[in-house]
Amino acid sequence: EVQLVQSGAEVKKPGESLEISCKGSGYRFTSYWIAWVRQMPGRGLEWMGIIYPGDSDTRYSPSFQGQVTISADKSINTAYLQWTSLKASDTAIYFCARATYSSLDYWGQGTLVTVSS
Amino acid sequence: QSVLTQPPSVSAAPGQKVTISCSGSSSNIGKYFVSWYQQFPGTAPKLLIYDNNKRPSGIPDRFSGSKSGTSATLGITGLQTGDEADYYCGVWDSGLSDGVFGGGTKLTVL
A32, A36, A45: best to mutate for the B interface, most B CBs within 10 A = A45
Gap from A6 CA to chain B (nearest CA, Å): 12
**Cα(A50)–Cα(A30) distance, integer angstroms:** 13
**In chain B, % of residues over pLDDT 90:** 89
The mean per-residue pLDDT over the stretch B29-53 comes to 97
Question: A30 phi and psi, to 5 degrees?
Answer: -80, -5
For residue B57, give every residue at least 6 positions away whose Cβ sits within 8 Å of its Cβ, in sequence order, or none: none
**Cα(A55)–Cα(A39) distance, integer angstroms:** 27
CB A68 within 8 A of CB A59: no
pLDDT of residue A77 exceeding 80, the answer is yes
**Cα(A17)–Cα(B77) distance, integer angstroms:** 47
- Residue B35 and residue A103: Cβ atoms within 8 Å? yes
DSSP state of B20: E
The mean per-residue pLDDT over the stretch B35-60 comes to 97
pLDDT of residue A70 exceeding 80, the answer is yes
* A contacts of B98 (beta carbons < 8 Å): 47, 49-50, 59-62
Give the per-residue pLDDT at A61: 93
Gap from A46 CA to chain B (nearest CA, Å): 7
CB neighbour class for A37 (10 Å; exposed up to 12, middle 13-18, buried from 19): buried
Q: What is the pLDDT of residues A88-106, one digit of tens each?
A: 999 999 999 999 999 999 9
pLDDT of residue A66 exceeding 90, the answer is yes
Give the per-residue pLDDT at B96: 80
The per-residue pLDDT of chain B, averaged, comes to 95
The mean per-residue pLDDT over the stretch B26-39 comes to 95
Nearest CA in chain B to A50: B98
Both ends of chain A: CA-CA distance in Å?
40
Give the per-residue pLDDT at B97: 77
pLDDT of residue B39 exceeding 80, the answer is yes
pLDDT of residue A25 exceeding 80, the answer is yes
Q: What is the pLDDT of residues B54-102, one digit of tens each?
A: 999 999 999 999 999 999 999 999 999 999 999 999 999 877 878 999 9
**DSSP structure string for B33-91:** -EEEEEE-TTS--EEEEBTTTB--TT--TTEEEEEETTEEEEEE-S--GGG-EEEEEEE
